[in-house]
Structure 1
Amino acid sequence: MMTYRRAALIALAASLAACQTAPERERKVISTVERPEPGTARTPGNESGWQMVWADEFDGDEIDIGKWQFDVDCWGGGNNERQCYTDSSRNARIEDGILRIIARKESHTGPAYPPHVRASQADPDALATKPFTSARLVTRGKAAWQYGRIEIRARLPQGQGTWPAIWMLPEDNAYGTWAASGEIDILEAVNLGVPCAKCPGGVENTILGTLHFGGLWPDNALNSSEMHAPEVLEGFHTYGIIWAPGVIEWTLNGQVFARKEAGSWWSVNSADPLAPFDKPFHLILNLAVGGGLPEERGLGGVDESGYPKSLDVDWVRVWQCRPEGASDAGCTGKR
């Protein structure tokens, strides 16, 4: 889920395509991938060499502030999203071993800008009012990883304008501000369950896995894979990545469905082919309402009925290669 996000990308698509900074590089790649045939997909959880290094099972009474912090602002992610993010238990809490990130239809006033944007604003203390509230939990400053296997078991909300996201941003902007230092979107979905003529079953069931990289906004680039997954409309499913030097793979319920390798990404501020995905990244869980991507797809706009809606998370788990497993093909991304 982009920091300066997809609304800007859509609005600037033509200028990005025409950008001459790196004419040999595709600036916007969006591919539809086919579901792997049964029994043919790689299943990293069955491979040797992994060691669990971090987890949250959400089995306490409250969100563990030793693992998570809240982003609190009404910025809208740079995409004209319609929610204010709060740290209220009305928007994020644990119920029966499940983290619930809850979007509500209610007016709220809060900081117009997040901390990393405020300093550049004429009025850094400006306030904004939005018609929805929700929550965005981050491990920034508490946990970040460079390479590994990351999985999140979650149940996704449905409806026109819903935008749940499980994603990662760099702990430090080693190569510059967004998107030169990268972004890894483990899972995004918009407008699930709304009418969709091209989708199996006739309703939206697309999941997205995306990388953002390249230059500083607006000279950013993206490489995204989309897949129809009707099962995500019901119950909990496990979304993940396997991230190794020079390769990132996306998984659904433990099976790989997309793979991207160095050469399909870059950073304008580094000649290293692994950059920017060679630094520690932290994890983000959020539920947005509206914004460029969902409002320009599906039925358009935001259906304000049926709230509250929630992104429910059963657990988050992170594995990395054991020292003795450093040459294991599963850990290293080799084939």
Structure 2
Amino acid sequence: MGAWVELTWPEPTEVDHVDVRAADTTPITAARLVLDAGDPVDLAPGPDGVVELAFSPRTVRTARFVVTGAPTGTTSVALTRFIVDRTGTPASGDVQASTAGGDPTSSWRSVVKTSSAASAAGALLDGDVAGGRAGAEWSATSTDAAPWVQLSWQKPRRLASIQVLGPTALATDPAAPWNAPLHGLLRFSDGSTVVVSGIAGGGGPPTTIAFAPHTASWVRLELARTVATASVSLREFTAYDVGTTPPRWPRTAQGYSPTGYSTTSTPAAPCSAASDPVGSSTDDQLALVCPAPGSAVSGTTTVVVAGPVGTPVTVTAWIDPVGTTPGAEQELTSGTIDASGRAVLRVDLAALATGPTALRVDRSGSDGGTPLYVQLVNRSGVAVDTGGHAPAGMTLQYAEEFTDPLSISRRGTGAEYAATKPSHVGGGSFGDAWFADPAEGHGNITTLDSQYLRLRVQPSDPAATPWNLEHEGGILSSVRVGGSGFAAQYGYFEARMLGAPGVGSWPAFWMLDTENTTPRGTTASEVDAVELYGHNTAGSCHTTHNWGYGDGDGGVAKCLEDNGVADWALAWHTYGVRFVPGGADFYIDGIQVATYQGLRQAADPHYFLMDLALGGGWPVDLAPTGEITDLYVDWIRTYT
């Protein structure tokens, strides 16, 4: 890769079209056109090595074709044609561009049509989302009362998602400054529609809507203003086929704040019977002395717990052997609370999974009481299977692996995620812990060790916390306040999670429909892939709600006292939900555990939320671990 060929002109020359044909023996998979060393244009050759693209006219002296992708083992490439000229924009004003997957001279060429300002329609296809370049901008004329943009093809395509980049100009409604300036409706040639609830302005990142596959010869985005003064403008409009994952807007690109949130697990402080205690307890329960929750440990480590003198205790962990042998709980060590009220326990972590893990300390005997969970980050241990359970044949539309600093802000402004439950009134909180703004620097939501998301509940100052709450927690939403961001229609949403233990903890992975984030959303669809309650780490709830219909929310809570899988505070699990017509199916570790029919807005795009709250109708007692508990998330993925 890196081979190139260049055309030069003796005088500045206006061009708007490139046509490249690779030799039959040359499998070029990706390429780039560089005009006068300016911003490059990424090219996607079809399987026959053909790529043709029309773009906004530019005046140049040089044009370089650079090979950026080829199959492993390729030693040379060859071209039979490389033309850059001024023949790209058809006289009708429609703009044509090749799309990977076929011959751009016939059935697979994208034709861009617009309701007005047709001469600028090429701006909708001249960008590079993966590279963070939007290119030029199309704007509807001031007299265009029903603006739209459309992509069409001579031969139907199997479409699975679209991306749209909104206007550069930032328009705000003083009464609701968080609203996205535009929204719209996708209309397909088969007559079906999908709502697009928000399109961000101010040069921000794209809105990505994935959907059940549509076989269509065209897709139209009908546009409308949410903010009356907004410019009806778009920088890009792209459709993706089944089997293609839409690219992510780079976090270093325009529209994102450079601020990200990340942390490294802190090595455990020296731990002994003389250490100051982390937690406290009442009655005869156990409490953690050391190490602190989330401490990084390795090999054989010391854990000290406090409790009633003479109480025998055992330490249990989840052991997941390499290979096909099923994992199981295993007792690692035991001890007795001594005359000082403490037990010093030496625990070998070699057989535990590497990364975030937990130990359960139980009182031995017929009435063990409430167990104590010690959350740690194991820097030794074994690597285990971290794969998911997506249904066969679905397209991966979104994958968050939490390897980069977390791009998040209170309402999602200048960020990929919002740290609130989005709503048309600016966002909201719930439960007995306030969802703190990450910008306040409390570390309540962050990526950890460039591999995990950590949401933490921790003490807060009631005098400085809304409603005088005594704890703060964290939440992450894939849609920003105002409706822009990522959502999927009839998607399968899945996350790999561990924790968070403690009486009153309330972690959840759930979905809401996108219209609920806007002033138009008078009703709402909620699907809880999983809700976990810390008083019972063997159970789980899987719930749906139809909010705002006036005849009860229609919610059905499928709460399993024992869901048949390992203690969710000890063992990692994947939790998934698949939207189906009229309802949803729920999964743990790929096994269906619940189903529901009667979801009124099942056909709407839904976005995901991950949160760590408290309460949910249950009492809260996190004193044994110093009022701290952590939820760890390995990844979140969405398929259609």
Name the TM-score class by shorter chain.
0.5 to 0.7
Q: Post-superposition shift, 1:312?
A: 0.5
Residue number in structure 1 paired with 2:454: 100
**Match runs of 1:18-167 below 5 Å:** 45=389, 47-60=391-404, 62-65=405-408, 66-71=415-420, 76-77=429-430, 79=431, 81-87=432-438, 88=441, 90-96=443-449, 97-107=451-461, 112=466, 128-140=467-479, 141-167=484-510
2:582 matches 1:238 = no
Contact 2:433 2:457 in 1 (8 A): no
Cα distance between partner residues in 1 of 2:554 and 2:520: 14
Counterpart amino acid of 2:602? F
Write out per-residue CA displacement over residues 93-117 of structure 1, whole angstroms, 9 at most, x where no aligned residue: 11120100011022256684xxxxx
Structure 1 SS opposite 2:603: coil
Structure 1 length as normaliser, TM-score? Answer: 0.62
Residue number in structure 2 paired with 1:41: none
Structure 2 SS opposite 1:187: strand
2:546 is aligned, of 196, 213, 236, to 213
Write out per-residue CA displacement over residues 191-237 of structure 1, whole angstroms, 9 at most, x where no aligned residue: 245xxxxxxxxxx4211110001544783231121222351231211
Change (3 A) 1:54 1:218: same
Cα distance between partner residues in 2 of 1:287 and 1:47: 27
Q: Post-superposition shift, 1:308?
A: 1.9
**Match runs of 1:267-278 below 5 Å:** 275-278=600-603
Residue number in structure 1 paired with 2:608: 283
Contact 1:86 1:134 in 2 (8 A): no
Write out per-residue CA displacement over residues 100-153 of structure 1, whole angstroms, 9 at most, x where no aligned residue: 0011022256684xxxxxxxxxxxxxxx43211111111112111111111100
**Match runs of 1:193-212 below 5 Å:** 193=536, 204-212=537-545
Cα distance between partner residues in 1 of 2:519 and 2:524: 5
Counterpart amino acid of 2:629? K
**Match runs of 1:289-328 below 5 Å:** 289-292=614-617, 294-295=618-619, 301-306=620-625, 307-320=627-640
Q: Which of 230-239 and 143-152 deviates more?
A: 230-239
Write out per-residue CA displacement over residues 306-334 of structure 1, whole angstroms, 9 at most, x where no aligned residue: 132111000001111xxxxxxxxxxxxxx
Write out per-residue CA displacement over residues 164-213 of structure 1, whole angstroms, 9 at most, x where no aligned residue: 011111111399757x32101011011245xxxxxxxxxx4211110001
Cα distance between partner residues in 1 of 2:390 and 2:435: 41
Change (3 A) 1:213 1:110: farther
Q: Post-superposition shift, 1:260?
A: 1.6
Unpaired segments ≥5 residues, structure 2 = 1-325, 327-387, 409-414
Contact 1:63 1:94 in 2 (8 A): yes
Write out per-residue CA displacement over residues 258-288 of structure 1, whole angstroms, 9 at most, x where no aligned residue: 1122xx34xxxxxxxxx22211111111111
Structure 2 length as normaliser, TM-score? Answer: 0.34
Q: Percent identity?
A: 22
Cα distance between partner residues in 1 of 2:605 and 2:628: 34
Structure 2 SS opposite 1:134: strand
Change (3 A) 1:160 1:212: same
Contact 1:74 1:110 in 2 (8 A): no
CA RMSD of aligned residues (A): 3.0
Counterpart amino acid of 2:621? V
Counterpart amino acid of 1:188? E
Cα distance between partner residues in 2 of 1:92 and 1:313: 11
Residue number in structure 2 paired with 1:170: 513
Q: Post-superposition shift, 1:255?
A: 1.5
Change (3 A) 1:154 1:279: same
Residue number in structure 2 paired with 1:118: none
Cα distance between partner residues in 1 of 2:550 and 2:501: 30
Unpaired segments ≥5 residues, structure 1 = 1-37, 39-43, 113-127, 194-203, 266-274, 296-300, 321-335
Which structure has the highest helix share of the two? 1
Q: Which of 169-178 and 231-240 deviates more?
A: 169-178
Write out per-residue CA displacement over residues 60-90 of structure 1, whole angstroms, 9 at most, x where no aligned residue: 2x1134531212999651x5x2434332451
Q: Post-superposition shift, 1:253?
A: 0.6
Structure 2 SS opposite 1:172: helix
Write out per-residue CA displacement over residues 28-67 of structure 1, whole angstroms, 9 at most, x where no aligned residue: xxxxxxxxxx9xxxxx94753211010100112x113453
Greater RCO, 1 or 2 (C-alpha within 8 Å, sep 6+): 1
Residue number in structure 2 paired with 1:23: none
Contact 1:105 1:131 in 2 (8 A): yes
Which structure has the highest strand share of the two? 2
Counterpart amino acid of 2:590? G
Contact 1:167 1:285 in 2 (8 A): yes
Give structure 1 regions of 4+ aligned residues with deviation exceeding 4 angstroms.
Answer: 72-76, 108-112, 174-178
2:525 is aligned, of 160, 175, 182, to 182
Change (3 A) 1:69 1:110: farther
Structure 2 SS opposite 1:248: strand
* Matched pairs, number: 232
Cα distance between partner residues in 2 of 1:107 and 1:70: 19
Q: Which has the larger radius of gyration?
A: 2
Cα distance between partner residues in 2 of 1:226 and 1:260: 13
Contact 1:84 1:132 in 2 (8 A): no
Change (3 A) 1:183 1:251: same
Residue number in structure 1 paired with 2:250: none
Change (3 A) 1:316 1:75: closer
